[in-house]
Amino acid sequence: MSPKPTIAAVDWGTTRMRVWLLDATGAVVDERRSDEGLLTAQHKGFAPVLDGHLASMGAPADLPAIVCGMAGARQGWIEAPYVEVPASLGDILGAAVPVPGAGRDVRIVPGLAQRKEGAPDVMRGEETQLAGVAAEVGSGSHLVCMPGTHCKWVGVDDGTVAGFGTWPTGEMFSVFAQHSILRHSLGEKPAPVAPDNAVFRDWCNEALSDGDIGARLFGIRAAGLLSGLGQADAAAALSGLLIGAEIASATRRFGKRETPVVLVGSGPLGALYAEALTLGGLAVRIADADKAVLSGLVAAARRNGMLAEG
C-alpha cells in the first residue's frame, strides 16, 4: 500500500487533467491522468470529478488539493483572477485562490495577464510550469519557450516574469492543414515531421530570416504543382515555416539573452523546436515539461502553507 498522502496536486487543463498524490516531503506517492478536463468538468461538476479521482486513488475525503490550469478560468470551477505582469513567480504562486464549498481545502493558482499596449496576452497553467522551470534554471535573465497549441515565450529575470507572448503555432498548423487549400498538399493525415528533414530545415531557415508567414504559405501549394513536393515534405515545409517564423518573431520581441533559450518540452515537438532554435543560432537548454509542472505545484503548495518547506 502507498504511503499516506499529505496533499493532491492537480494540473487541470481544457481537455485533460493530471493528479498526483504527494507525501509530506512533496514526493509522489501516486498519480493518474484523465480526459476529464475543463470541458468535461463543466458538465459533471468540478468537485465530483476531483472527488471521484481522489477516492479511487484511496485518498481521504479531506485531503487538500493545489490546482493549476483552466479550472481557474472564468468558465472554470471558480475564477482565480489574473495576476498582472511584471510579477515575481513566488507572488504568483502565493496568490492561489481558495474554492469555497469544495468539501476540502482546494486552492487554484492564478493565471497571468499582460495589459501592455499592443501586446495584450494571458496564460493559465503555464505560470506553474514556468515556476518549476525557473527554480531549475536559477537566477539570471532567461528566455523560456513553451511549445504547444498556443506556444508561450516568457522573459524571466531573477524569478520575476518580465513579459510574455503567445504564438498560436500549433493551432495554425492544424487549421491550415485541415481547412485551407494546403489540405490538398498535406493530405488527410499529415505525416509526423522529423527534425532532420531537409525540407523542414530549408523552410525553417527561410522563415528565420524575417518571420514572414503570409508570403510563404501558398508557396507550399505552388511547390507541389511546380516541383512535385510530396505530402510528407509539404507537412515538413509548413512545420518549418511556422516554427521558424515564431522563433524569428519571439526573439525580435524579447531580444536574445546570454543564457540559452530554456525549451520546455521533450518528445517530437520539442525536438523540432530544438532543431529550429539551433538553426536560428540560439543555444538551447531542455527542461522536462511534466517535471516542471509538478515542481511548480509543489512550490505553490509550500507558498500557501499547504506543505512544509522542503
Q: At what angle do helices 198-210 and 267-279 cross, to 10 degrees?
A: 60
| CA–CA gap between residue 272 and residue 48 (Å, rounded) | 39
The single residue among 24, 27, 55, 175 that binds a second copy, judged by CB under 8 A, is 175
Give first-to-last CA distance, the chain, whole Å: 24
| Min separation Cβ 263 and a second copy, Å | 18
- Please list, residue by residue across 48-62, b when 16 or more beta carbons sit within 10 angstroms of its beta carbon and e when fewer do: ebbbebbeebebeee
The yes or no reply on residue 118 touching a second copy (CB under 8 A) is yes
Q: Which stretch binds a second copy (CB under 8 A): 25-33, 99-107, 225-233, 285-293?
A: 225-233
Quickly count: other Cβ atoms within 10 Å of residue 279's Cβ. Answer: 20
Q: Which stretch binds a second copy (CB under 8 A): 38-46, 134-142, 212-220, 268-276?
A: 212-220
Quickly count: other Cβ atoms within 10 Å of residue 117's Cβ. Answer: 5
The yes or no reply on residue 214 touching a second copy (CB under 8 A) is yes
The single residue among 24, 55, 119, 308 that binds a second copy, judged by CB under 8 A, is 119
The yes or no reply on residue 273 touching a second copy (CB under 8 A) is no
| CA–CA gap between residue 34 and residue 12 (Å, rounded) | 10
The yes or no reply on residue 242 touching a second copy (CB under 8 A) is yes
| CA–CA gap between residue 52 and residue 74 (Å, rounded) | 23
The single residue among 55, 194, 198, 222 that binds a second copy, judged by CB under 8 A, is 222
Q: Please report, as ranges, the residues that interact with a second copy according to CB under 8 A.
A: 74, 82, 113-115, 118-122, 150, 165-169, 171-172, 175-176, 178-181, 206, 210-215, 217-219, 221-223, 225-227, 242, 245-246, 249-250, 252-253
